[in-house]
Amino acid sequence: MTNGPFVQTDLAAHAAARVEDESEARLVERAKSDPQAFGQLYERYVDRIYSYVFYRTGNQQEAEDLTAKTFHKALDHIGRYDNRGVPFSAWLYRIAHNLVANWHRDGARRQELPLEPQAHLAPARGRPEQLAEASEEREALLGAIRRLPSDRQQLLLLKFIDSLPNAQIGDIMGRSEGAIKSLYHRTLIALRDDLTTHGFS
């Protein structure tokens, strides 16, 4: 083998991920009857689920409400959860996704992404005109994301906010890794086309 150290690093990372999966599997089993174990799962995922729901709904109050519903629903149904190749995180995200979808449907609301995310964005550095341009670009991008279908929005949020690999995104969205990769490329192309149409090259 030509790249020995890289292979060993990759194997070590893989082994570490497998150990973590097994320990989470044990934690999930305990959580079915042990409130403290469920609390540990909650601590592990609350930030991620909240962030995802926040971007899908566009405001803090709804994000808190739906995040709370996600975890209460998870608590209701964890006794029936069975890890048949679907990780616990994917199961949790699916609950969140379905609640968000119902929220949109019930309120007939447009899919809102926060128009004022600047409070959550890292401050940009540079001259005033550069800052103004950067801010305009971000707003335009958020507008373009908002115009995407919900599955493409979901894909972008899982990829860029949670930094999930395609395989895990596939678990959450119920698609193959290859389908996610293809969807990702088409989404980027669509996003770029939309930005160009709205005057951003």
For other proteins, the binding residues (CB under 8 A) are 33, 35, 38-39, 42-43, 46-48, 50-51, 54-55, 60, 63-64, 67-68, 71-72, 75, 117, 120-122, 124, 137-138, 141-142, 156-157, 160-162, 181-182, 185-186, 188-189, 191-192, 195
**Cα 156 from Cα 144, distance rounded (Å):** 12
Residue among 22 and 151 whose Cβ is closer to other proteins: 151
| Side-chain-facing half-sphere of 91: CA atoms under 13 Å | 19
Residue among 83 and 139 whose Cβ is closer to other proteins: 139
For the bound state, the minimum distance from the C-beta of residue 23 to other proteins, rounded and expressed in Å, comes to: 20
For the bound state, the minimum distance from the C-beta of residue 105 to other proteins, rounded and expressed in Å, comes to: 24
Q: Are 40 and 104 in contact (CB under 8 A)?
A: no
Q: Hey, what are 50's tokens? A: 């909240």
Q: Are 194 and 144 in contact (CB under 8 A)?
A: yes
For the bound state, the minimum distance from the C-beta of residue 32 to other proteins, rounded and expressed in Å, comes to: 10
**Cα 187 from Cα 77, distance rounded (Å):** 33
